[in-house]
Chain A
Amino acid sequence: MVGLHKSEFANPVVNWIDQRLPLFSMMKNEYSSFPTPKNFNYFWNFGALAMINLMIMVATGVFLAMHYTPNTAMAFDSVERIMRDVNYGWLLRYVHMNGASMFFIVVYIHIFRGLYYGSYKNPRELLWMLGVVILLLMMATAFMGYVLPWGQMSYWGATVITNLFSAFPVVGESIVTWLWGGFSVDNATLNRFFSLHYLLPFVIIAVVFLHVIALHITGSNNPLGIEPKGPQDTIPFHPYYTIKDSVGMCVYLTVFAILVFFAPNFLGHPDNYIPANPLATPADVVPEWYFLPYYAILRSVPNKLIGVLMLFGSIGVMFILPWLDTSPVRSARFRPIYRQLIWVFVIDCLVLGYVGAKPPQGSILLIGRVATAYYFLHYLVILPLLGKLERPLPLPESISQPVTRGGGPLPAGAAATPMEKV
C-alpha cells in the first residue's frame, strides 16, 4: 500500500512530518498510549533502567574516547591524565567504570524478573533469546573495556580470557594468535579491543531495538503471568509507567551516585592501578565481580576444554530455557515448588560468585564443584521435570479479578475504570 500515513496530530508541522514519516505516531503508539498490564510491580522498572544505563555508558564513553590513547606505551598514562587533568575526567571515568557494574546489577535483576515470572515462555521466547544476545554482547564489551586502562588486571584478564580459546583442539592456538594479532596480548590486541569496545555498544543498541520491537508485538508479561483479557486489564504506558519508572530511576541514580562519589573503587581491583607488566602475573587474577560466577564454573572443572565448554554453556543454556521449562504456568506465584527452587538457584549463583573470588583450593574448590553441578542441574533436570510433576495453584480469571474481588470492601474510587478517565 502506497500512500501517506493518516496522522491524528493537530500541530500542522508535526502532522506534515508524521504523514510522511510516522515517527510521532510510532512514539505515541509504542510509548505513550501503549496498553500495558496494570499490575506491574517494581521489577518491571529494570528494562527502562537498563536502557538509561546504556545511554549513560555511550555518552560517557564517547567523551572518554576523546582523551584516551589506545597504545600500550600511553594507555595507562592517558587514563591517569583523564583522572587528573581533563575537566571532569574523574567524573566521566568513575561514572563509566561504575556504570558497567550498575549495568550488570540492573540486567541481572531484569533477568531474575524474567526467570521468576516466566517471561521467557510462549510467546516471548524470541524476546528472551534476544535478551541473552544482549547479555553476551554486554559481557564482551565489558571485558574489552576493562582491558583498555592497561593495568595489571587489564593485561592478565585479557591474557586469561583470550587463552580460553586455546582449549579448542587443533585450531585453538591459531584462534588465540588471531585474536591477539601477535604472540601475546600486546599493542595490536589493545588497538582492536578499543575499536570493538566502541563498536559493540552500537550493536547492543540495535539488538535492544529488536528486543523492544519483539516486546511490543507480544506485549509485556506481568506478575500474574496471565495475558490481559481486555482494556480493563491495561493502562496506557504514559503517564502511569513513565511515572513508576521515574521512581525506580531515582532509587537507581541514588545507588549509582553513592558508588561514584563515595566508593568509586569499591567494585574494582586495586591491582589495576599498577601499569601492565607482561613479566609478572599478580598473586591472584580475578575478573570483575559480574564475571565471578562464570569464572567459578571454569575453575571448577579440572579438564581445560570441558571447563571452557561449561563456561560458554552456562550462558548457552539460557538460549534453550524456553523449551527446558515445561510448565505452562508462567508466574512463580502459582508454582509452589518452583517458587522456592528459583531462590535456591539465586543462592547457587551467589555462591558461585563467592567461589569465583577465592583461590580455588580445598573446600572452596569442592563448594564450587557442587554449585556448578547444581547450576546445570537446575536448567537441565529440575526445570524439565518440575513442569510435569508440580501441581500449580489455580490461576485468577483475569488481571483485574484478584483486585476487584479482594478480601476487604472496595476502596473509594476503585469502582471507576481507569480507562474512562484518560
Chain B
Amino acid sequence: MADTAATTANTAHETGAGVPKRDFMKLLAGAGAAVGLGAIAWPLIDSMNPAQDVLAMSSTEVDLKPIVAGQAITVLWRGKPIFVRHRTAAEIKEAADVNVSELRDPQTDAARVQKGHDTWLVVVGICTHLGCVPLGNKPTDPRGEYGGWYCPCHGSQYDTSGRIRKGPAPLNLAVPDYAFENDTKIKIG
C-alpha cells in the first residue's frame, strides 16, 4: 500500500501534473509553523513596547501664569524637554515677517502656534540634528542670530518660531500635540 502511494507520487512528480501532495503538505506544515512562531514571538516583542503605566503618564499639564513675556521654561513630557515660550510682540512680528520660501523647512509662524494664542510657542526642545537640547531658555543662554535657540552641539540656530535657520539641523523644532484647557493652562499630549 505504501509502495503504491509512493509510485503515484513519483508519477505525478515526473509528469509535472500539479504539485505533488507531499510538497504541498510540507508547504502547509512550514506555513503553519511560521504563523505559530509569529504568534509566539509577538507577545515577547510587544512586551518591549511602552507599558500601560508609561502610556498613562504620557500627558503633562503646564500652568502658564508664572511665565512672563520674553521668558521660556522647560517642562518634562514623556522624558523629553518641552520648551514653553511666552513671546513678546516684537518676537512674534519677527517670526511672522519671515519669507517662508527662504526657509529650509518652510512653515508659517501661524502654523506653529494655536489660533488666538500666538504669544505662546510650545516646541519639543530637541535639536533635529542629533538630539541635543538647544540653549536659549535661560536669560544668560545664547539665542543665536535669530533670537530663538542655539544648539551647543553643532551650532544649529532656530528663530523665535523654533524654525531652523542656520546650521546642520534639517527640520524645525517639532510642535507636540497640546491643547489650551483655559487661557492659563495647557495640556501636552
A residues lining the B interface (CB < 8 Å): 59-60, 63, 66-67, 81, 84-89, 91-92, 412-413, 416, 421
Task: List B contacts of A63 (CB < 8 A).
Answer: 44, 47-48
Choose among A85, A416, A421 the residue with the greatest number of B CB atoms under 10 Å from its CB: A85
Q: A81-B51, A84-B52 are in contact. Are A59 and B44 (CB under 8 A)?
A: yes
* In the complex, the 6 A-B pairs of residues with the closest C-beta atoms, listed nearest first: A88-B43, A85-B53, A85-B52, A85-B51, A87-B46, A86-B51
| A-B contacts, CB under 8 A, total | 44
Q: A351 to chain B: closest CB distance in Å?
A: 38
Cα A86 to Cα B46 in complex, Å, equals 9
Query: Are B3 and A92 in contact (CB-based, < 8 A)?
Result: no
B2 at the interface (CB under 8 A from A): yes
Query: Are B48 and A66 in contact (CB-based, < 8 A)?
Result: yes
Q: A346 to chain B: closest CB distance in Å?
A: 34
Query: Are B2 and A413 in contact (CB-based, < 8 A)?
Result: yes
Query: Are B2 and A86 in contact (CB-based, < 8 A)?
Result: no
Cα A74 to Cα B49 in complex, Å, equals 21
Q: B7 to chain A: closest CB distance in Å?
A: 12
Query: Are B51 and A89 in contact (CB-based, < 8 A)?
Result: yes
Chain B's closest residue to A89 (CB) is B47
Cα A413 to Cα B3 in complex, Å, equals 8
Q: B144 to chain A: closest CB distance in Å?
A: 40
Chain A's closest residue to B40 (CB) is A59
Cα A243 to Cα B136 in complex, Å, equals 68
B6 at the interface (CB under 8 A from A): yes
In this complex, the interface size class of chain B, counting residues with CB under 8 Å from chain A, is 10 to 19
Task: List A contacts of B2 (CB < 8 A).
Answer: 413, 416, 421
Provide a sorted-by-A list of 10 A–B residue pairs whose CB atoms are within 8 angstroms. Answer: A60-B44, A63-B44, A85-B52, A85-B54, A86-B51, A87-B43, A87-B47, A92-B43, A413-B3, A416-B3
B residues lining the A interface (CB < 8 Å): 1-3, 6, 43-44, 46-49, 51-54
Cα A91 to Cα B47 in complex, Å, equals 10
Chain B's closest residue to A59 (CB) is B44
Cα A85 to Cα B49 in complex, Å, equals 11
Chain A's closest residue to B29 (CB) is A246
Select which of A66, A91, A413, A421 is within 8 A of B43 by beta carbon: A91
Query: Are A92 and B54 in contact (CB-based, < 8 A)?
Result: no
Q: B186 to chain A: closest CB distance in Å?
A: 27
Cα A63 to Cα B44 in complex, Å, equals 7
Cα A59 to Cα B44 in complex, Å, equals 8
Cα A63 to Cα B100 in complex, Å, equals 49
Chain B's closest residue to A66 (CB) is B48
Chain A's closest residue to B4 (CB) is A413
Query: Are B51 and A87 in contact (CB-based, < 8 A)?
Result: yes
Chain B's closest residue to A88 (CB) is B43
Query: Are B53 and A81 in contact (CB-based, < 8 A)?
Result: yes
Task: List A contacts of B51 (CB < 8 A).
Answer: 67, 81, 85-87, 89
Cα A416 to Cα B49 in complex, Å, equals 56
Choose among B3, B43, B46 the residue with the greatest number of A CB atoms under 10 Å from its CB: B43
Task: List B contacts of A421 (CB < 8 A).
Answer: 2, 6
Q: A420 to chain B: closest CB distance in Å?
A: 11
Task: List B contacts of A67 (CB < 8 A).
Answer: 47, 51
Q: B1 to chain A: closest CB distance in Å?
A: 6
Select which of A86, A412, A413, A416 is within 8 A of B47 by beta carbon: A86
Task: List B contacts of A86 (CB < 8 A).
Answer: 47, 51-52
- Give 13 A-B pairs besides A86-B52, A416-B2 with Cβ atoms closer than 8 angstroms: A59-B44, A63-B44, A63-B48, A66-B48, A81-B51, A86-B47, A86-B51, A87-B47, A87-B49, A88-B46, A91-B43, A92-B44, A412-B1
Task: List A contacts of B1 (CB < 8 A).
Answer: 412-413
